[in-house]
Structure 1
C-alpha cells in the first residue's frame, strides 16, 4: 500500500478517535496534514469519512439528540453550504491551505477563551451558516457549532454535534457533486480511510470511560495548533 495512503489512514484514525471522544475534531486534526499529503483529500474524501463517523455517533447517542434545538442551526446550514461551495470556484490550493489553517487556528484560539454563550435561535442559525460555509469549503465545519454548544452536558454535546454533522456532511457532499469536488475518484480516495475512521471510533468507545476529557481536549488542541500553523505556512509558500 502506498505510504501516502497509510499516512492518511493514520491521520483519520487519530481524528476519528478524538471526534468520538470529544464530539468534534476529526477534520481539524486531519485536514491540514491531509492537504499536505494530497490536495485531493480536501474537502470531499474527508467529508465522506466525517459522514460515516457522524452516522455511527448519531446512532450511539440517539437518545440524547434534541432535533428541535438543532432546527435553527440546520436552517442556517443550507445557505452556508451554498456559500462554501461557491468559494471553491475562486480559490486555488494555496489559498485553500491558508483558509483551512486559519480556520483551525481561530478554532483553537476561541476554544481557549472563557466564553459562555447562551444558545439562542439566532446564534444557532449563525453557527449553522458558518459551519456549512467552512465545512463545504475546507472540510472543517465543527468549530462554530461546537463553540456554541460546548457548555452543554458531555453526552448532549456528542449527540447534537453528531446529528448536526450528519446533516451538514450530507448537504456538503450533495452540493459538491455538480461542481466537480465529489466524483468516483474522490470516493476511491475515501475508501481506505473509512475503515481507519471506524477503528478510531471503536477504540475511543472502548476506552472512553478511562479518558480524562481535559487530557483529550489538550492533546487535540496541541495537534490542531501544529497542523494549523503548518497549513498556513505551506499555503503561503505557494501563493
Structure 2
C-alpha cells in the first residue's frame, strides 16, 4: 500500500510515475500485480487528475499518440504471452532506468505529429507489457507548463490505460483475480492523490523531481537484481 501511495503522490505531482515507483517492487511481492492491477490503478488516478485539470487538456494534440498506442499495446500484450517472470522483472528495471535517463536529458524534443505517434506506440508497448508507459510521452511534453503537462499526460493515460486493459483482458492477464488484487490498492492511490493535491503548492518542483528520480533508480536496480533469482 505504501508503494501505491508513493507512486500516486509522485504521479499527481509531476504527471507520471505511479508504475515507475511501484511496479518493480510490487512485482517482487507477486507477479500478478504487473501489469494489470497497476494499469487499473493508473486509470483511476488519471481520471481524477484529468477531471481536476480538464480545462488544460488539448485533445487534438493527443490524437495521434492515442492512435499509436493501439498497435503498441497489441504488441506489448503479445510479448507477455512468451516471456518469463525473470525477463519481465529485468525489463521493468531497464525501463525504469531508461525513464530516469530520459528525465535528465538536457535537450528539448518538439512534439511533432510523427513523434507523437511514435511516443504513443512506445507508450503502448511499454505500458501494456510492463505497466510503465509514461516516459515516452513525458519526454515529448516535459516542457509544457506544469498544469498543461499534468492535464495532457493524465488525459492520455486515461485512453491508454483503457486500451491496455482491453488487450490484457483478451490475453487473460487481467481477470477477476487481478481485479481483486487491484481493489485494496485504490484507497492508497486516492490518499496519495489527495495528499499531493494538498502539498504540491509547498513542495519545490525541482526537489520533487530529484527525489522521484532517486526512488526510481533504487526501484529499477532492485528489479534488475531480483531478476536473477527467478
Same fold (TM over 0.5): yes
| RMSD over aligned Cα atoms | 0.7
Counterpart residue number, 2:64: 72
Counterpart residue number, 1:43: 35
1:172 aligns with 2:164: yes
Number of aligned positions between the proteins: 230
- CA shift at 1:111, angstroms? 1.1
Counterpart residue number, 1:5: none
The CA distance in 2 between the partners of 1:155 and 1:97, in whole Å, is: 33
Counterpart residue number, 2:140: 148
Superimposed CA distance per residue, residues 23-55 of structure 1 (whole angstroms, 9 cap, x where no aligned partner): 001100000000011111000111110000000
The CA distance in 2 between the partners of 1:41 and 1:237, in whole Å, is: 18
Mark the runs of 5 or more structure 1 residues left unpaired by the alignment. Answer: 1-8
- CA shift at 1:208, angstroms? 1.2
SS of equivalent residue, structure 1 residue 119: coil
Superimposed CA distance per residue, residues 99-132 of structure 1 (whole angstroms, 9 cap, x where no aligned partner): 1100000110121111200110000000000000
Mark the runs of 5 or more structure 2 residues left unpaired by the alignment. Answer: none
Superimposed CA distance per residue, residues 39-96 of structure 1 (whole angstroms, 9 cap, x where no aligned partner): 1100011111000000000100000000000001011111001010010011010000
| Aligned match for 2:205, one of 204, 213, 225 | 213
- CA shift at 1:236, angstroms? 2.8
1:20 aligns with 2:46: no
1:104 aligns with 2:63: no
Question: TM-score, structure 1 length as denominator?
Answer: 0.95
1:159 aligns with 2:151: yes
Counterpart residue number, 2:185: 193
- CA shift at 1:233, angstroms? 1.1
Runs ≥4 residues deviating over 3 A: none
Counterpart residue number, 2:47: 55
SS of equivalent residue, structure 1 residue 82: helix
Question: TM-score, structure 2 length as denominator?
Answer: 0.99
